[in-house]
A = this chain, B = another copy of it.
Amino acid sequence: MSAPLNLRDLERIAGGLLEPGAQAYFAGGAHDEVCLAENEAAWARRKLLPRVLVDVGALDTATTLLGTAVTMPAGIAPTAQHGLAHPDAEAATARAAAAAGVLYCASTMSTLPVERIGAAGSGPRWFQLYIQRDRAATLELVARARAAGFTALVLTVDTPVAGVRERDARVGAAAARQTFGNLGYSGSGDALGAYVAGLFDPSVTWDDLSWLRAAAGMPLVLKGIMTAADARLACEHGADAVWVSNHGGRQLDRTPATADVLEEVAGAAAGRAEVYVDGGIRRGLDVVTALALGARAVFVGRPVLYALACDGQAGVTLALEMLRAELRNAMALLGAPSVADVRRSHVI
């Protein structure tokens, strides 16, 4: 293969480097993986309308997310177990994000404990959370994240139970040793399902949010919203941001692509909460599409894992700079010199 030119090249290269089990775990989706494929395809189905004779001599991709300055409207989505991709695990990811001025959202299910991730980079960082049956343990983890410099809480709400990922079973992915630094868990993946099912609470409702907000002491983002109705509920319950996600196609198969619900969800939250989106973002063209449809930022999951597998921190840096260069090119050709200049009318 020639030198990688884009995120998909990194994915192909990583495919030759990762253990089959890790590859399946990162790449797979729920059941028939319809949603997984749709997430990527839906961005490419949207058509972009360039406007001409706009001065794009000075391009600016910077924005803010819940008040935090970032150099581009594309952050790193929470994904589990970076240690399966590279021995430096989340520390490498955090250093690359900080160097790039990009927001890194660390996962509860990280290989490294949150303290080591926080220590690895001084960049903008948020912490992703599941509510555990043990509420005290939940708040203890929040406190650890806050102490480690994480400035917002991203509560995942689309996982009352785990999605069924048949690909894992087919390649025996679950047999690999798994380590979750935040939870103090280390063991074979075979037992993981039951462990996680016992840990996380399927009975969480909207009423639990006020408790969490009060205890967290930081802004609250709800990740996994796919309907306008839930976006409205999120706003009514005080969420600071709504994150449109179907968990990368890993939870309920046959949900729409996030690109296909983004506009409606964003409309429901407009003016009350910031709106983000993840799922299938592979090109700068995807980023401008998401901005045009109402997202303030996108988050990128699997490509960062593949980049990490390719070359650790340097790989992640390369991935972020590829995405940034594509975003700049797309903004210039759309006739949008700043993020705020990307408008609904740029997308059909």
Which residue numbers of A lie inside 8 Å of B, CB to CB? 2-3, 5-6, 31-32, 34, 44, 46-57, 157-158, 160-161, 163-164, 166, 169-170, 201-206, 208-209, 222, 224-227, 229-230, 233, 246, 251-256, 260-261, 283, 285, 326, 329-330, 332-335, 345, 348
Contact = CB atoms under 8 A, between A and B. Distances in A.
Nearest to A289: B254
Given A31-B283, A166-B6, A333-B251, A51 B160 contact: no
B255 A50 contact: yes
B254 A203 contact: no
A115 to B, nearest CB: 29
Contact of A48 (B53, B55, B224, B252): B252
A64 to B, nearest CB: 26
Given A44-B32, A170-B5, A329 B161 contact: yes
Say whether chain A's binding surface is mostly helix, strand, loop, or mixed. Answer: loop
Contacts of A51: 227, 229-230
A336 to B, nearest CB: 11
Contacts of A203: 55-57
A5 B169 contact: yes
Contacts of A56: 160-161, 202-203
Of the listed residues A53, A254, A255, A334, the one surrounded by the most CB atoms of chain B closer than 10 A to its CB is: A53
Contacts of A224: 50, 52
